[in-house]
A and B are shown apart, each in its own frame.
Chain A
Amino acid sequence: MDNVITATNLTKQFGHFTAVDQISFEVERGEIFGFLGANGAGKTTAMRMLCGLSKPTSGIGTVAGFDIHTQTEKVKKNIGYMSQKFSLYDDLKVWENIELFGGIYGMNDQDIKVKTDKLMYELNFEKERNMLVASLPLGFKQKLAFSVAIFHQPQVVFLDEPTGGVDPVTRRMFWEMIYKAAENGITVFVTTHYMDEAEYCNRVSIMVDGRIEALDSPKNLKAHYSAKNMDEVFQKLARKSQRKE
């Protein structure tokens, strides 16, 4: 099996508090993997470890073939990252953002130029190319942020609540971009609070109090918990939480 992410007993403690408690799972190449959990369940901490930003207290993990303890710089080079909170620089133009991120990920100028032209055409963004990101509508920003996150063709892209706040049509168009990226072989690791989006994932894990309480395809999870949708599955599992914030 071609796994892009592996985690074995991955744990993170802050003092006496175990934020992530021995989680183990694999994500296959090209898979859309939904990483769900209530606020405070440990999702962000787990994601930070997988992105090479936070050292695990114990347990092992690899991302894009690199060790998340010892090869964090290589991990960072081979992943893309986007979140609702931070993605692009508002005070740079569209093309400047692309050039900046392309450069950070070590792409050469020629590649950046050719790919920028192609991307502007695909997104139908030729008019916006010279605009400041601050002046773009939110839906445009999100599309651009996602495109920038996968611009260097990473093996895996981490999306941390990417779709908050946009209108229903834009939210769906965004997911169609995610599908397309996955079809092009980019593995997608995504967190969301929209339970209908959980249905779009090949597999979903649900974290409760630092542990992975369930992991399967949405179809199997619904069958297993006799739930009619993922919201019910989530409500059943997350209500078990003992954690007092």
Chain B
Amino acid sequence: MVKCIDLHKSYGQTIALQGVSFEVNAGEIFGIIGPDGAGKTTLFRILTTLILANQGSATVNGFDVVKDYREIRKCVGYMPGRFSLYQDLTVEENLEFFATVFNTTVEENYELIKDIYQQIEPFKKRRAGKLSGGMKQKLALSCALIHKPTVLFLDEPTTGVDPVSRKEFWGMLKKLKAQGITILVSTPYMDEASLCDRIALIQKGKFLSIDTPLNIVNQYKNQLWAVRSMNMSKLLNDLRSNKSFENCFAFGDSHHVSIENKKLEIKTLEEYLLKCGHTDIEITEIQPTIEDCFMEISKDTTL
């Protein structure tokens, strides 16, 4: 459905993409996961024919992003990271505008957006600029869908959105997938990775890994322990100051210690922590999260 070969893009001295290749299958939710500045938006802009790559090629729905840009624009939906609807048009006017631009009507494709649009329909006379964040997001998604695209590009749709609304949003994506729409979605939230069929981890313009979330987790090779004690702040310092356990980070209510290349006994750490004066020590071997994997894979490239 989407195919990229060796995409490169620079803005002056700044390199945004350095050799990105991947394929997205029809009907897939493909997540592009990485921090701000990793190149996510640049990639989406190239694929939606808004900017040109310096090098490499890409096709969407079989159409070339350079030669066939007109065809691509007809069949993709794009929801940019920044709210880009007309603030001074009402909810209803925005939707009608986008339908008209694509030579269709709201009625013709109403079924597709019904679930999403109904939630904001009570406010259809309100200007888009006056909507809350959650409502803007739903309107933008409705407008991106109104011409029944085959591929949907969503650039950080959940950034700054609270956990409940994020969950809802992913529920909507699942329904769209069930209707056969291919979805490319970018996000800085690692916990959303597990909701995608396949993900690409991106950092500094490069894909670090492309696979299913499960395979990425399975490829994690280190030993990983969750460690707790009464004094979590001292615990982090004590772990860091020991060569064997220095690769450790706070993860919610515990610290994750990853140990490379060698088998260590939990007992060894426990004894060390007792010596440091910790009490209520809990150490458990755990399965990595996508975030653990990202941190491990990106280790050489992070600041």
Cβ distance A136 to chain B, nearest Cβ, rounded Å: 11
Contact: B162 with A167, CB < 8 Å? no
Is A55's CB within 8 Å of the partner chain B?
A: no
Interface residues of B in 124-166 (CB under 8 A from A): 131-135, 159-166
* Nearest residue, chain B, Cβ from A232: B163
Which of A84, A139, A193, A200 is close to B163, meaning CB atoms less than 8 Å apart?
A193
Write out the residue numbers on chain A whose beta carbons fall within 8 Å of the beta carbon of B23: none
Contact: A245 with B252, CB < 8 Å? no
Q: Per-position contact with B for A133-167: 1 when CB-CB < 8 Å, else 0?
A: 00001111000000000000000000001001111
Cβ distance B287 to chain A, nearest Cβ, rounded Å: 14
Is B250's CB within 8 Å of the partner chain A?
A: yes
**Beyond A166-B35, A166-B36, A170-B303, is A245–B295 a contact (Cβ under 8 Å)?**
no
Write out the residue numbers on chain A whose beta carbons fall within 8 Å of the beta carbon of B164: 38, 234-235, 238-239, 241
Contact: A164 with B250, CB < 8 Å? no
Cβ distance B246 to chain A, nearest Cβ, rounded Å: 14
Which of B132, B161, B167 is close to A245, meaning CB atoms less than 8 Å apart?
B132
Is A52's CB within 8 Å of the partner chain B?
A: no
**Beyond A138-B35, A167-B302, A218-B253, is A179–B160 a contact (Cβ under 8 Å)?**
no
**Beyond A175-B250, A179-B233, A183-B233, is A169–B295 a contact (Cβ under 8 Å)?**
yes
Write out the residue numbers on chain A whose beta carbons fall within 8 Å of the beta carbon of B250: 172, 175-176, 200
Write out the residue numbers on chain A whose beta carbons fall within 8 Å of the beta carbon of B132: 39-40, 245
Complex: A128 Cα to B127 Cα, angstroms: 44
Is A117's CB within 8 Å of the partner chain B?
A: no
Write out the residue numbers on chain A whose beta carbons fall within 8 Å of the beta carbon of B233: 179, 183
Cβ distance A224 to chain B, nearest Cβ, rounded Å: 15
Cβ distance A86 to chain B, nearest Cβ, rounded Å: 14
* Nearest residue, chain A, Cβ from B291: A168
* Nearest residue, chain B, Cβ from A236: B164
Contact: A229 with B252, CB < 8 Å? yes
Given A138-B35, A164-B160: 11 more A-B contacts, CB < 8 Å: A164-B159, A166-B35, A167-B294, A169-B295, A169-B302, A175-B250, A176-B250, A193-B161, A194-B189, A241-B164, A245-B135
> Which 3 pairs, one residue from A and one from B, show the smallest C-beta to C-beta distance?
A167-B35, A165-B36, A196-B252
A residues apposed to B, CB below 8 Å: 37-40, 84, 137-140, 161, 164-170, 172, 175-176, 179, 183, 193-196, 199-200, 218-219, 229-231, 234-235, 238-239, 241, 244-245
